[in-house]
């Protein structure tokens, strides 16, 4: 499947479909009409049909969607049918919080290592994973088929660390540092800024009718 022409807006909606379908599957629901899915998710049925048409449909006239099939197909589109090995760089509050969140593993994101440049943290265990010194990072990535690096360090060190990661042929960076990274286009970067979401919330408050 060529996903080059699929808009980022559609891709951004897929995880939400995936979550809802996962809940339906867990409740033993085998099929759902686009109208019922629409009511549940508060998205128009035509939006759902349009979104799924990007990937060849999935639905059958008069039957609706097969929940498990659709769930599995969206998982494949999102690459969730494969396991991804990841490392967390920065074993502070945020890095430890992410390492402690078990649900990533359920989705196939396996936390293989945690790194920090603070010697005092090295050897400490977070959910059974020992924090290692950042000097070990390059070797570890190469030896453990790491796909994803999670950057939970201050912005000062993040650009340099991203350069090191690029040199290790990392596939993707989940970047929490408040800085834009300068890495080759072949590396997928997803920037996460929780404060952006909070600012949108603030906008919602001040513009409430």
CB of 21 to ligand NAI, least distance (A): 27
8 Å CB contact between 128 and 111: no
- Alpha-carbon gap, residue 168 to 75, rounded angstroms: 27
Binding to ligand NAI by residue 178, rule CB under 6 A?
Answer: yes
DSSP state of 45: H
Among 6, 41, 94, 164, contact with ligand NAI (rule: CB under 6 A): 94
Give the residue among 179, 91, 83 at the shortest CA–CA distance from 129.
Answer: 91
Q: Which of residues 63-82 bind ligand NAI (CB under 6 A)?
A: none
CB-based closest residue to ligand NAI:
92
In the complex, what is the shortest distance from the CB of residue 205 to ligand NAI, in angstroms, rounded to a whole number?
Answer: 20
Residue 148 CB, nearest distance to ligand NAI (Å)? Answer: 16
The burial class, CB within 10 Å (0-12 / 13-18 / 19+), for 143 is exposed
Q: Quick one: which of 74, 86, 153, 172 contacts ligand NAI (CB under 6 A)?
A: 153
Is 154 among the residues that bind ligand NAI (CB under 6 A)?
yes
Tokens 């990841």, residue located: 86
Residues in contact with 100: Cβ distance below 8 Å, sequence separation at least 6, in sequence order: 126, 127
**Least distance from C-beta 163 to ligand NAI, angstroms?**
11
DSSP track, 82-119: S-EEEEEE--SHHHHHHHH-THHHHTTEEEEEEEES-G
Among 157, 164, 166, 187, binds ligand NAI (CB under 6 A): 157
Q: Which of 5, 2, 43 is nearest to 21 (CA)?
A: 43
Count of residues engaged in binding ligand NAI, rule: CB under 6 A: 25
Residue with tokens 């790194």: 115
- Please identify, among the stretches 17-25, 40-48, 60-68, 115-123, the one whose residues bind ligand NAI according to the rule CB under 6 A: 115-123
Which residues are near ligand NAI by CB under 6 A? 89-95, 115-118, 121, 134, 152-154, 157, 161, 176-178, 192-195
């Amino acid at each position: 499947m060529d996903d080059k022409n699929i808009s980022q807006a559609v891709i951004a909606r897929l995880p939400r479909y995936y979550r809802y379908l996962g809940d339906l599957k867990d409740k033993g629901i085998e099929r759902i009409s686009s109208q019922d899915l629409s009511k549940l998710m508060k998205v128009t049925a035509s939006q759902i049909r349009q979104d799924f048409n990007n990937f060849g449909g999935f639905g059958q006239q008069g039957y609706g969607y097969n929940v498990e099939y659709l769930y599995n197909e969206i998982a494949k589109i999102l690459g969730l049918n494969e396991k991804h090995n990841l490392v967390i760089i920065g074993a502070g509050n945020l890095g430890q919080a992410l390492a402690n969140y078990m649900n990533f593993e359920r989705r196939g994101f396996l936390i293989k290592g945690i790194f920090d440049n603070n010697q005092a943290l090295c050897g400490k265990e977070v959910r059974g994973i020992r924090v290692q010194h950042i000097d070990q990072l390059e070797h570890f990535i190469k030896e453990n088929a790491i796909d994803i690096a999670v950057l939970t360090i201050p912005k000062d060190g993040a650009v340099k660390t991203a350069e090191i990661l690029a040199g290790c042929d990392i596939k993707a960076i989940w970047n929490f540092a408040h800085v834009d990274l300068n890495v080759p286009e072949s590396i997928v970067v997803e920037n996460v800024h929780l404060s952006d979401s909070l600012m949108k919330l603030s906008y919602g408050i001040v513009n409430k009718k």
